[in-house]
A and B are shown apart, each in its own frame.
Chain A
């Protein structure tokens, strides 16, 4: 264990650590706490210059209902779900197949295809922007949730393939080999033997991709124009433009927009971290 556990340290270190821990956390989350506090502050407080003090009363309900009543944020959130959920299913599904192919078959192009997926996953979005937008316009997918969904599915397949391929590599290959000797078809090997073992990888990737896609802002602005298809990240910005000085509403909107991935993270924490830190321990 490094650093030395505080339990083995002198008493003053132990007590100091226990005090420092919450203090550091408050400092670390200070910007977020400020926004959370602003979101429950009545508009009158901000007008009167009470920015940092105790709110004169708890205005949470009125601010949060105002956000939903006066803006399309409900629609934006729905759009985000419409883009995010099919993307998670699509990208994870496709990469189960590609990952299986790249991890269990030996053929000449194998490594090159794998590297193509990996490299494609790292390119700057801007190099894709003009052609992808053009393609979406020509196929009628521009300004719709489907256009966004298809792009995200394709793009995230790169990262998912990297992940799945490395995950299947850790499974015992003898299992597949003996099934082959028995004459089990390749599809059945995938479906009945490998796929059930991939459950932890599927869970980890699903939460990760959910967060990535939910939080996307660039493609939401490039591929969508109207409120009917706009995800919550891009929608939030239009609210900021409209509520220039109503920071209590912008804050409340921000909190609402951040909630789904945060909930996802806390519910599936173990999977989330397992996904994110893949490769941080070995290789």
Chain B
């Protein structure tokens, strides 16, 4: 038998400075490395870009303050409106990925042999790089040897060069972009469907709910979180569209497929010249558009945190 000692260790009565302040300091020490990196490469550049947008700058020489001149030039630049119009087309048409992804998910939400492999193969387009997607579709659309043009020729007897036609090119690129985006939405919905409350579904079935009615009244409300994320990633994807435009048409023909992200790159860093200030002004416009959606997203997160 041993008795427990009744005296406390001496230093426990008078903890060191570090011990007393540990809880207050620890979060900042844990945060520091990540926050410093993020501040240097993400937060600061946003403000620097806004600042640069008020200058005339070629990226090397001295900067010249020109106030709002970049923005007034943008206001009268026809390419800017083409890009803006295309960005809206991207945003609207890209949204098709959400219902299309849901449709594919509903189609695949079965338990037959080999369904797991089917699901992963349907997801495939999302895993490969947009560069490869762009090359695949350039080939798919190519006028003489592309698979799609071959099909159209076989069906209608006429030749269509989608990416060389300034009325069709943007839609051709958006279609290419939809391919991986639908796959992404599909996987979100498959996960959502997996976690559906089956008792509720069975109860609704008992009450005679079927098909569309069941989907609309019982299933979709339960898929709310999946829908929200699908919409968010699709909006971001649409506004970030750069890779496909750059690979498939380089903004052509006649600049008809430019979007703000590509237009910015072209102005700031390509053979058209190094107009960093003007490019930054375009980026600021794109940033403000994105900020609308970011704000909505964050507002929802704040509400969630408050409920939690």
In the complex, the answer to whether A258 meets B128 with C-beta atoms within 8 Å is yes
Interface size class, chain A: 35 or more
In the complex, the answer to whether A281 meets B195 with C-beta atoms within 8 Å is yes
Across the interface, A280 reaches (CB within 8 A) one of B41, B118, B130, B191, namely B191
Question: In the complex, how many angstroms separate the beta carbon of A210 from the nearest chain B beta carbon?
Answer: 11
Q: Scoring A residues 96 to 133 as 1 if CB is less than 8 Å from chain B, else 0, what string do you get?
A: 01101110110100110101111110111111111111
Contacts of A58 in B (CB 8 A): none
Across the interface, B35 reaches (CB within 8 A) one of A98, A150, A258, namely A98
Contacts A5-B110, A31-B179, A119-B294; A154 near B37 (Cβ below 8 A): yes
B304 at the interface (CB under 8 A from A): yes
Contacts of A185 in B (CB 8 A): 22
A86 to B179: give the CA distance in the assembly, Å: 30
Q: Scoring A residues 16 to 45 as 1 if CB is less than 8 Å from chain B, else 0, what string do you get?
A: 011001001100111110110010000000
In the complex, the answer to whether B283 meets A154 with C-beta atoms within 8 Å is no
B180 nearest in chain A by CB position: A215
Q: Scoring B residues 173 to 196 as 1 if CB is less than 8 Å from chain A, else 0, what string do you get?
A: 000000100001001110111111
**Residues 233-268 (chain A) with a chain B CB within 8 angstroms:** 233-234, 236-237, 240, 247, 250-251, 254, 257-258, 261-262, 265-266
A258 to B189: give the CA distance in the assembly, Å: 25
Contacts A3-B109, A46-B145, A236-B131; A158 near B38 (Cβ below 8 A): yes
Across the interface, B45 reaches (CB within 8 A) one of A101, A128, A258, namely A128
In the complex, the answer to whether B49 meets A131 with C-beta atoms within 8 Å is yes
A278 to B219: give the CA distance in the assembly, Å: 19
Contacts A17-B110, A190-B30; A273 near B225 (Cβ below 8 A): no
Contacts A5-B110, A21-B118; A129 near B268 (Cβ below 8 A): yes
Question: In the complex, how many angstroms separate the beta carbon of B132 from the nearest chain A beta carbon?
Answer: 5
Contacts of A97 in B (CB 8 A): 30-31, 33-34
Contacts of B305 in A (CB 8 A): 111
Contacts A3-B109, A125-B261, A217-B243; A247 near B139 (Cβ below 8 A): yes
Contacts A185-B22, A217-B131, A281-B191; A115 near B301 (Cβ below 8 A): yes
In the complex, the answer to whether B22 meets A186 with C-beta atoms within 8 Å is yes
Contacts of A94 in B (CB 8 A): 33-34, 37
Question: In the complex, how many angstroms separate the beta carbon of B176 from the nearest chain A beta carbon?
Answer: 8
B152 at the interface (CB under 8 A from A): no
A146 at the interface (CB under 8 A from B): no
A95 at the interface (CB under 8 A from B): yes
In the complex, the answer to whether A120 meets B49 with C-beta atoms within 8 Å is no
Q: Scoring A residues 169 to 183 as 1 if CB is less than 8 Å from chain B, else 0, what string do you get?
A: 000000000001000
**Residue from A21, A116, A123 whose CB has the most chain B CB atoms within 10 Å:** A123
A197 to B78: give the CA distance in the assembly, Å: 55
Contacts of A6 in B (CB 8 A): 110, 112
A157 at the interface (CB under 8 A from B): yes
In the complex, the answer to whether B112 meets A130 with C-beta atoms within 8 Å is no
In the complex, the answer to whether A130 meets B268 with C-beta atoms within 8 Å is yes
A277 at the interface (CB under 8 A from B): yes
A151 to B38: give the CA distance in the assembly, Å: 9
Across the interface, A105 reaches (CB within 8 A) one of B26, B45, B111, B189, namely B26
In the complex, the answer to whether A28 meets B122 with C-beta atoms within 8 Å is yes
B95 at the interface (CB under 8 A from A): no
In the complex, the answer to whether B136 meets A254 with C-beta atoms within 8 Å is yes
A79 at the interface (CB under 8 A from B): no
A218 to B179: give the CA distance in the assembly, Å: 20
Q: Scoring B residues 107 to 127 as 1 if CB is less than 8 Å from chain A, else 0, what string do you get?
A: 101111000001011111101
25 A-B pairs with C-beta separation under 8 A = A1-B198, A3-B106, A34-B139, A52-B147, A94-B33, A111-B302, A113-B31, A115-B298, A116-B43, A127-B45, A129-B268, A131-B48, A131-B52, A154-B41, A158-B38, A186-B22, A217-B247, A236-B135, A254-B131, A258-B129, A261-B128, A277-B187, A280-B225, A281-B225, A283-B304
- Sorted from nearest, which 9 A-B pairs have the closest CB atoms? A154-B41, A101-B30, A215-B129, A131-B45, A277-B191, A105-B27, A131-B48, A98-B34, A126-B283
B→A interface (CB under 8 Å): 22-24, 26-28, 30-31, 33-35, 37-38, 40-46, 48-49, 52, 59, 106-107, 109-112, 118, 120-125, 127-132, 135-137, 139-140, 144-145, 147, 150, 179, 184, 187-189, 191-196, 198, 201, 214-215, 218-219, 225-226, 229, 236, 239-240, 242-243, 246-247, 260-261, 264-265, 268-269, 276, 279-280, 282-284, 286-287, 290, 293-294, 297-298, 301-302, 304-305
A→B interface (CB under 8 Å): 1-3, 5-7, 17-18, 21, 24-25, 28-32, 34-35, 38, 46, 49, 51-52, 94-95, 97-98, 100-102, 104-105, 107, 110-111, 113, 115-120, 122-135, 150-151, 153-155, 157-158, 161, 180, 185-187, 190, 211, 214-215, 217-218, 221-222, 233-234, 236-237, 240, 247, 250-251, 254, 257-258, 261-262, 265-266, 269, 273, 276-277, 279-283
